[in-house]
Amino acid sequence: GESVGLHLPTLSVQEGDNSIINCAYSNSASDYFIWYKQESGKGPQFIIDIRSNMDKRQGQRVTVLLNKTVKHLSLQIAATQPGDSAVYFCAETEAGSYQLTFGKGTKLSVIP
Amino acid sequence: NAGVTQTPKFQVLKTGQSMTLQCAQDMNHEYMSWYRQDPGMGLRLIHYSVGAGITDQGEVPNGYNVSRSTTEDFPLRLLSAAPSQTSVYFCASSYSGSQGFRSYNEQFFGPGTRLTVL
């Protein structure tokens, strides 16, 4: 089946800088896109989601951008902090479906 | 609230043994699901349930059984463990579509069970 994937497996950023984590998807029927954060030894934690009829959504220090033309999703983290160090997963789901399809993850390391 | 709890945290099985991974939530969530996480593979959905008495298969259901007799509990049974089932297993819960529009996008995950099959 179609899958969600990531461009970069690892990302290192300086504390205070902005981080951008990218994700490519291939399922044109995807209706929602979701970002999860997973800290070492813990389960994933929901960050933010965006519906396919939107191109931008903002949360606390995070912004998700969606470009359906090129099937690309990104998560921007402003003023990255050491507590942001984790693996970030994008996921997608079709309209009316309960099933989330996860990408393989990007590891974000914040350099103090 | 304890959130989503899973037991055990670690388990080692021999090939052919059976066991049940326990999952419970105290948030009155209708939707519950089981994922497995393998290195470099992300999370893959095994089974899910949209309410007591209702279960369905996800992407990788073979070798696993589930049942949902109560809203709170959603155990995952390995019928005859195989080395390919060595993985970290996560249980998750969320409000279902009937409890809020698209609220199941925000799934709450348990701490995971690390299973090794020898």
DSSP chain A: ---EE-S-SEEEEETTS-EEEEEEE--TTEEEEEEEEE-TTS--EEEEEEETT-SEEE-SSEEEEEETTTTEEEEEESS--GGG-EEEEEEEEETT----EE---EEEEEE-
Average pLDDT estimate for A66-73: 94
Average pLDDT estimate for A4-25: 84
**Tokens describing residue B17:** 């043994």
Rounded alpha-carbon distances, angstroms, from residue B93 to A111, B25, B33? 34, 7, 6
| 8 Å CB contact between B110 and B23 | yes
With cut-offs at 50, 70 and 90, classify the pLDDT of residue A96.
confident
Q: Is the N-terminal amide bond of B8 cis, ω within 30° of 0?
A: yes
CB of A102 less than 8 A from some CB of B: yes
The larger pLDDT score, comparing residue B97 to residue A27, is at A27
Pick from B58, B59, B105: which is nearest to A34 by CB? B105
The pLDDT value given to residue B101: 57
How many angstroms away from the CA of A79 is the closest CA of chain B?
24
| 8 Å CB contact between A70 and A64 | no
**Tokens describing residue B42:** 């992300």
Chain A residue numbers with beta carbons less than 8 Å from the beta carbon of B43 are 44, 89, 100, 102
pLDDT along chain B (118 residues), means of 10: 93 97 95 91 92 95 97 97 97 78 79 97
With cut-offs at 50, 70 and 90, classify the pLDDT of residue A8.
very low
* Percent share of chain A, pLDDT over 90: 77
| 8 Å CB contact between B29 and B95 | yes
B111 with A42: Cβ contact below 8 A: yes
Average pLDDT estimate for A86-109: 90
Residue B100 backbone zone (phi > 0: left; psi -120 to 50: alpha; other: beta)? left
Residue of B23, B25, B38, B43 to mutate when probing chain A, most A C-beta within 10 A:
B43
CB of A103 less than 8 A from some CB of B: yes
Chain A residue numbers with beta carbons less than 8 Å from the beta carbon of B21 are none
Average pLDDT estimate for A1-19: 73
DSSP character for B62? Answer: T
The pLDDT value given to residue B59: 93
* Residue A2 predicted with pLDDT over 60: no
Average pLDDT estimate for A11-25: 95
**CA B14 from chain center: how many Å?**
21
